[in-house]
Amino acid sequence: MRVTLLQDDIYVPVMGGGIKANRCLLEELARSGHTCSVIARARTLSPDGPRTRDEFLQELTNRRIDFEQVAEKRFDFTVNSVRVHAIDDDELTQRAAACSECVREAAPDYVIVADDKRRYMLPCALAAAPERVVLLLQTIVQMPFGPLSVNPDPAYFELMRKTRAFVVISEFEQTYVREHGGMSSSVVHLPVYGRGPFANLAKSDGFVTMINPCNFKGLPIFVELVKSFPQVSFAAVPTWGANDEIMAQLQQFPNLTLLARADDIEHILAQTRVLVAPSVWPETFGYVVPEAMLRGIPVIASRIGGLPEAKLGVDYLVEVTPGEWQDGQFIVPPQNDKAWADALNALVNDPAEYQRCSVASRAAAERFVNQVSAEKFVEVLSPTE
């Protein structure tokens, strides 16, 4: 089977959960003998980088990835048997034309469109490969419909109805699509977790860690924990949401360490004692939660969106009041800081409770990951074959 994925983001390096999941899916399909390619951006405006062509080419060089410049603004290379077509063009019309050309060249059996934030990839895919397009949307706020959409678009919504299938990553997202879009979808848990055995990283020291500190992810809750537990070592891993103001705020706390983002999440988890995921916006799932749990690291997460599913029935879910947009800004309302403090206190000051939660987390995550397979995605693409 020949599969081509379109994503409006870079392919290397891989930092965000959704982009990592796309890459892991393609690589797993390639290992199974399928021919896989991806059409991606060469550069990004995110601090995850690269931001310039020179940085992009240096990134490939640093990773010893051979590349070919096949056009003025297109670079092709291969990573783990996946062929990558990286488009270096900021103009959407030109980028769309390049995407269409790449799809026609690949002649795929199926085209997967993922998180089409700028709304140009799906039209390209439908024009180049009608009847063969599958939608994979991992960020629920990017839906063009419903109360959680940050960019409603009725015309794009109608295009979605022309696709072959709609794949979602959580039951929360599936319910949203059905209730607000009137469409059926298939839940597929993507093979983002790698292959075991997974190291048991439970520990009595290390950091209480938050990844991507920003208001969407519940930064005010995390800051209150840092203030309330001056004797505890915290860490934050700044990614796309951490602007200069947030960085300056975090640097003022003596018990908080800033950790560099990493392709391999285990580099972060190896330094982590407890992971906190205090999001106040609707996470579609939250890959990092099972990733930490697989390694015996307890997770305290918000009871919002798909995070309860990611927690796999294990304790520490905390109620939050969802954030909201006001005059173009995302505002985090007052939260029940005591509930978060009580949860953290139990895990950092009661060794027996930490051990109980660690064991339960690891067992639940192993059961979950043992059922995750790229072949489940194949079954959605071609159920009768």
H/E stretch holding 77 = strand 74-79
CATH number of 207-369, picked from 3.90.105.10, 3.40.1180.10, 3.30.2140.20, 3.40.50.2000:
3.40.50.2000
Please give the pLDDT value at position 263. 83
Label residue 385 by pLDDT band (50, 70, 90): very low
H/E stretch holding 186 = strand 186-187
Residue pair 354/204 in contact by the 8 Å Cβ criterion:
yes
Burial label, 158 (beta-carbon count in 10 A; 0-12, 13-18, 19+): exposed
Number of H helices, E strands in the chain: 14, 17
What would the pLDDT profile of 50-77 be if each residue is shown by its tens digit?
A: 999 999 999 999 999 999 999 999 999 9
Residues across the chain: 385
The three-class DSSP label of residue 376 is helix
Mean model confidence pLDDT for the chain: 94
Please give the pLDDT value at position 227. 98
Rounded to 5°, angle at Cα 207 from 284 and 324: 35
Give 304-364 as a DSSP string: STTHHHHTTT-S-EE--PPPEEETTEEE-----HHHHHHHHHHHHH-HHHHHHHHHHHHHH
Which residue, among 201, 355, 203, 222, has the nearest Cα to 277 in the 3D structure? 222
Do the first three CATH levels of 2-192 and 207-369 match, i.e. the same topology? yes
Please give the pLDDT value at position 195. 83
Label residue 329 by pLDDT band (50, 70, 90): confident
Please give the pLDDT value at position 383. 65
CATH superfamily of 2-192: Glycogen Phosphorylase B; (3.40.50.2000)
What would the pLDDT profile of 194-206 be if each residue is shown by its tens digit?
A: 888 999 999 999 9
In this predicted structure, the answer to whether residue 87 has a pLDDT above a threshold of 90 is yes
Burial label, 56 (beta-carbon count in 10 A; 0-12, 13-18, 19+): buried
Please give the pLDDT value at position 15. 63
Domain ranges of the chain: 2-192, 207-369
Please give the pLDDT value at position 55. 94
* Residue tagged 């599936």 (tokens): 174
Please give the pLDDT value at position 384. 56
Residue type, 114: A
In this predicted structure, the answer to whether residue 323 has a pLDDT above a threshold of 70 is yes
In this predicted structure, the answer to whether residue 226 has a pLDDT above a threshold of 90 is yes
Label residue 382 by pLDDT band (50, 70, 90): confident
* Residue tagged 């051990």 (tokens): 355
